Structure 1
């Protein structure tokens, strides 16, 4: 498939894990992939990799999504150099897990600032251009944890906020040809999951109806569909990609 030939796709936090997999997925379908990544070296390496493997235009910029001025400048530069923006993927996020009484003010702020604040800054920056053009796709990243999770008050608040932000973007963008959807990944084979204690990971995996963790490619496929023209009548949705984990408890 070449659903994205000639389209400009922005991916934040693409230096590793899910963001990297999505960048490759969009590039494989012909997109110009523009990376916003706080780790300048990781972003530059990925851009070179995308161009070499897929033969597409790929560029990276060192970007701190918590700084709205940086985001606005990035979007202005992209409009000047590439014209329109077709797809925004809000993927940047971090964790600072702890019990609620042990979460510091800094750990509370930084998690919300990166995941929720960064998604807002990027969406706000691309929205006017998408409205003027009458077309746009915004895919933001929540988590299966948005419903609540022990030891993640800051992360859960951020990811639940992304659900609310997504639904509001969907309402405000609908009449302008803009869709906004969120993906809520389950247990996916990323560096974050790899750092988890082995027994804890096995216990969680056993709760997945499919009995195995997901791959970054599973998330990339979901993002590539939600951002496509074929998904034009789908907006305000939170798509669980979790092997059935979010369905609920089983008596079996």
Structure 2
């Protein structure tokens, strides 16, 4: 009996460090984090937060002056480090070139935050350089390219994570008019692009998890006081700090539910719209994404 108890105690003592580690917050000290759309708003504050933890942050945006200013600020802080890589996500070729640069220079990527996005509420249809509806191109298709092209670097850093910054303002995808060419369709562009993010996350998560990559989507906070929200003439209902707290809380969480959509209070859901849980809709979106980008699901 005594020998059995000793053996049991030995096993418990052996497992305690692993159990404690599994429940400890994830630290990004010494790790590499990519935050897209990080020269302003939520993305910029997230870059600062990760750097303050000691991470190397890849800063992305279109404006080289703002990007370099943030990099200089981080590098001068004595905490963490940063590098800026410019790319206009309105061009899928620039997204591919950006991904190739990151993949070439970053053999291990611990966290990808797909945060870059645009929103319009004037009902006017806009197109990307490739002729795609602009919100769908920047908010969704760019992220599709990045998760696939950077998958080897994320796998090399496993366990690693992908956080897709979606929105509670989702709208079902109209597969007969994804590019919003019908009269009045442009008003649902933002919601459709965000639903596509959450649907992609739900569909791809099992495959990525097999490589040690946990992918989730989330709603950071409702109408934060960002340049985008204020520029649309909307009254902010929350602070950027609220969104930062939510994203960082999930980034640091010991465990996450792969494929889930997380609301502000951290409750995981399948997706905001039931369409995202439909295997047929998921399959249609994956096929469409591969067709539009030339990047197949891997």
Q: Normalising to structure 2: TM-score of the pair? A: 0.68
Contact 2:171 2:192 in 1 (8 A): no
RCO higher in 1 or 2 (8 Å CA, sep ≥ 6)?
Answer: 1
1:240 aligns with 263
2:208 match: 173
- Inter-CA distance 147–76: structure 2 relative to 1 (3 Å threshold): closer
Q: 2:227 aligns with which of 188, 191, 214?
A: 191
> How far apart are 1:229 and its partner, in Å?
6.3
Partner of 2:10: none
* 1:182 alignment partner, one of 217, 227, 245: 217
* Superposed displacement of residue 170, structure 1: 1.2
1:51, distance to aligned residue in structure 2 (A): 1.6
Aligned to 2:140: 116
Whole-Å Cα distance in 2 between the matches of residues 80 and 152 of structure 1?
A: 39
Deviation at 1:190? 1.2
Question: Quick check: 134-143 or 26-35, which moved more?
Answer: 134-143
TM-score normalised by the chain length of structure 1 = 0.79
Instruction: Check the 8 A contact 1:75/1:126 in 2, yes or no.
Output: yes
**CA pair 169-136 structure 1, distance change in 2 beyond 3 A:** farther
| Alpha-carbon shift at residue 89 of structure 1 (Å) | 0.6
Instruction: Describe the shift of the 1:229–1:79 C-alpha distance in structure 2 as closer, same or farther (beyond 3 A).
Output: farther
Alignment of 1:6 onto 2:41: no
TM-superposed CA distance for 1:147, in Å, is: 4.3
Q: Counterpart of 1:214?
A: 238
CA contact (8 A) 1:25 1:221 kept: no
Bigger Cα Rg? 2
Deviation at 1:166, TM superposition (A): 1.2
Task: Work out whether residues 171 and 188 of structure 2, in 8 Å CA contact, stay in contact via their aligned partners in 1.
Answer: no
Look up the match of 1:157.
Answer: 192
Alpha-carbon deviation of 1:126?
Answer: 1.1
Change (3 A) 1:54 1:241: farther
Alignment partners' CA distance in 1, 2:259 and 2:41: 25
Asked if structure 2 preserves the Cα contact closer than 8 Å seen for 1:65 and 1:122, the reply is: no
Would you say 1:103 and 2:103 are equivalent positions?
no
Determine whether 1:143 maps to 2:167.
yes
Decide whether aligned partners of structure 1 residues 69 and 132 sit closer, same or farther in structure 2, where only a CA change above 3 A counts. farther
Secondary structure of the structure 1 residue equivalent to 2:210? helix
Structure 2 counterpart SS, 1:176 = coil
1:36 aligns with 2:60: yes
CA distance in 2, matches of 1:147, 1:48: 39
SS of structure 1 residue aligned to 2:71:
helix
Q: Displaced runs of 4+ in structure 1, greater than 4 A?
A: 104-108
Aligned partner of 1:90 in structure 2 is 114
- The number of equivalent residue pairs is 228
The whole-number CA distance in structure 2 between the counterparts of 1:105 and 1:50 is 35
What's the CA shift string for 1:68-105, capped at 9, x where partnerless?
A: 44334434433443430111011111122234xx5356
